[in-house]
Structure 1
Amino acid sequence: MPASPDPFDLVIFARVVNAGSFGGAAEQLGLPRSTVSRRITVLEGLLGEKVLQRTTRRVVLTEMGQRILVPAEQIAQEIDGVVAIAEHRQAIPSGQLRVSVPADLAGISLAPMLAAFSVAYPEVQLELDLSPRYVDVIAESYDLAIRVDGAVQDQRLTTRHLIDLGIGLYAAPSYLQRRGRPDDPRALTKHDILVLLGGGTPIPWKLEKGGEIIPTDVKPRRVAANSYELLFRLAMLGAGIAAMPDLFAAPHAAAGELVRVLPDWTMRPATVRAVFPSRQLMPRKTRAFLDAMLSFLKPSTPRDPAFAEAARALGFGDGSLPL
């Protein structure tokens, strides 16, 4: 039984026949003419017969050449199809994009960005996982995961820093009218505190100003939940004071729906990262999503024209996205 020929040698053979010469095939393939001739010789050696008769002016198919031409052309067409798919996916983001995003971040802040992305790149089927668990990006075939705080332990993953979210204390005007406005972190213990849970444990508040750090006792809390979004809604309704990212609260503070409490005091920011399998050979769809996220979180970042146009089409003025 003869050894199996190299599929690329069959592609070269089909190109020679199609071009009518070794030189024409070499030009189509971007190879030296000597390489084309040598690969045909290798193919013939494996098959044990000539596939082409060379003359000074043209090449002529032998009987063996006639027999293998159709399957060789089919292989060439399949390879051309693979190349066309790859070229299209690199030029135009397309295909299924699986992304894990914290539910609070997606629900409160990212909805406008996600809407603009879906309009800008209609050939991408965006699948979002909003569960609180840390998905295994590689084992579960995710293209990308957005992580808030926490170190990335998996050495197989590449990390990209997106933004550090400032965190402040916020309350509704109705609450402050009813309970008064604290003028010192120590006065917070006399207020209705809305506390975030992490792993079932209340996350402490540590307020800092000018190097002074004051821990706040959050045990006499009014409500504790493992959802920033719920605490945000409760604060908006006047149920108490909540610590929340400025990204969530700033637009509502500007509209007078929330008030920054103890504005001179800050809390440790929350780091938002993107993690993905590899920066090398990153699919265009993943790169487009990363760029859209970055331009949304950092408006000074250059924005893809398709994404900016989609934002305008959705009524976001000059392409800026509402938070």
Structure 2
Amino acid sequence: MDRLQSMRVFAKVVEQGSFARAGDQLDISNAVVTRHVADLEQHLGTRLLNRSTRKLSLTETGQQYLDRVRHILSDIDDADAMAAQSARCPSGTLRIYCHPNFGQTALAPLLPVFAAAEPKVVLDVTLADRPVDLVEEGYDIGIFIDNQKIDSSMIARKLATSSVVLTAAPGYVSRKGEPMAPRDLSKHDCLNHSYEKVRHTWPVQCGGKPVEVPIVSRMVSNNNAVLREAAIAGLGVMMRPSFTLGDDIADGKLVRLLRDHCVGRLGVYMVYPSRRLLSAKVRAFTEFMAKSFPEPDADPWLKSL
């Protein structure tokens, strides 16, 4: 028995004062109406309606039950309307996870633009450099970069490609000289992320092929902000994704080195649990991000460097 449907049929019978008229309103047969009410009474173990050939009347229990049923049906209708509205109009809290490197430099300037376009959406943004389970942790959207593991059950939409480039402060270049070829990096002080795979060599592209160049680390850190401050202070050469460097190079705090060479490329991905029945707030954000990054295989930041 579909108890909810039986409740709706029961309430409609009382409203119309007739099984037949209730059936007409609900577009079901008189026999089906009768069966719903009978099943409901059997389930409850009590009579809800007194029936005669001329009229229907509620029993005392039936009246009490009807009052509660009407509240329940009203709450359900309100919930349905709210869900339908959220599917049509972006609103509510949008929980976003983002890798901190991308979040602080590339995503942050976009969020006020999205917020202005969607005033009913509250943004709840978390930046964290750790494994994240979007579903378990209740995120609507995740922004990941290539070196993060993405659950294969998720939908991953590529936003952009970021080149990893070499930079140093102008003062450092004046003091130590500018590397003219990848092998020259072995003679320089390097500011290095603590990933084991780049601790002792950097994979610089030479003629389209990666060459592992031995390097000496002047500083190693798992925090990119620490490395950035050290680079700006002139401590050494740093390799960073292009999306983190625009302002520092534009402001003259850092200069790009070995412009004809690239250390690597990172894909940036927008990740969410399902394509089906996306809420309006998620759909609005995914469309906004897709418009913000129209060429997924291009590096939109490199031209400014």
For the criterion TM > 0.5, the same-fold answer is: yes
- Offset from partner CA, 1:170-212 (integer Å, 9 cap, x none): 2232322232221111111222211122269627421213234
Where 1:188 maps in the other structure, the secondary structure is: helix
User: Which runs of no fewer than 5 residues in structure 2 stay unpaired?
Assistant: 297-303
Normalization by structure 1: what TM-score? 0.74
The answer to whether structure 1 residue 86 and structure 2 residue 83 are counterparts is yes
Where 2:134 maps in the other structure, the secondary structure is: coil
Which whole-Å CA distance do the structure 1 matches of 2:96 and 2:66 have between them?
45
Q: 2:275 aligns with which of 239, 254, 279?
A: 279
User: Which runs of no fewer than 5 residues in structure 1 stay unpaired?
Assistant: 27-32, 302-321
Q: 2:230 aligns with which of 231, 234, 245?
A: 234
- Offset from partner CA, 1:281-310 (integer Å, 9 cap, x none): 3333333333333333x1579xxxxxxxxx
Aligned to 2:265: 269
The answer to whether structure 1 residue 25 and structure 2 residue 25 are counterparts is yes
On the 8 A contact 2:9/2:22 being kept in 1, the answer is: no
Which whole-Å CA distance do the structure 1 matches of 2:289 and 2:224 have between them?
20
Q: 1:170 aligns with which of 167, 170, 173?
A: 167
RMSD (Å), alpha carbons: 3.4
- Offset from partner CA, 1:78-111 (integer Å, 9 cap, x none): 1111111102211233333333222222122221
On the 8 A contact 2:9/2:37 being kept in 1, the answer is: no
The answer to whether structure 1 residue 42 and structure 2 residue 38 are counterparts is no
Q: 1:249 aligns with which of 245, 250, 263?
A: 245
Normalization by structure 2: what TM-score? 0.78
Which whole-Å CA distance do the structure 1 matches of 2:4 and 2:194 have between them?
59
Decide whether aligned partners of structure 1 residues 115 and 280 sit closer, same or farther in structure 2, where only a CA change above 3 A counts.
same
Which whole-Å CA distance do the structure 2 matches of 1:91 and 1:203 have between them?
53
Which whole-Å CA distance do the structure 1 matches of 2:74 and 2:200 have between them?
60
Decide whether aligned partners of structure 1 residues 72 and 222 sit closer, same or farther in structure 2, where only a CA change above 3 A counts.
same
Percent identity, aligned pairs only, is 30
The answer to whether structure 1 residue 260 and structure 2 residue 235 are counterparts is no
On the 8 A contact 1:53/1:60 being kept in 2, the answer is: yes
On the 8 A contact 1:53/1:62 being kept in 2, the answer is: yes
Aligned to 2:123: 126
Which whole-Å CA distance do the structure 2 matches of 1:170 and 1:78 have between them?
60
Where 1:292 maps in the other structure, the secondary structure is: helix
Aligned to 2:301: none
Letter aligned with residue 62 of structure 1: S
Number of aligned positions between the proteins = 288
The answer to whether structure 1 residue 63 and structure 2 residue 58 are counterparts is yes
**Structure 2 counterparts to residues 154-233 of structure 1, below 5 A:** 154-198=151-195, 202=199, 204-218=201-215, 220-233=216-229
Aligned to 2:299: none
Letter aligned with residue 233 of structure 1: E
Which whole-Å CA distance do the structure 1 matches of 2:52 and 2:237 have between them?
87
Where 1:93 maps in the other structure, the secondary structure is: coil
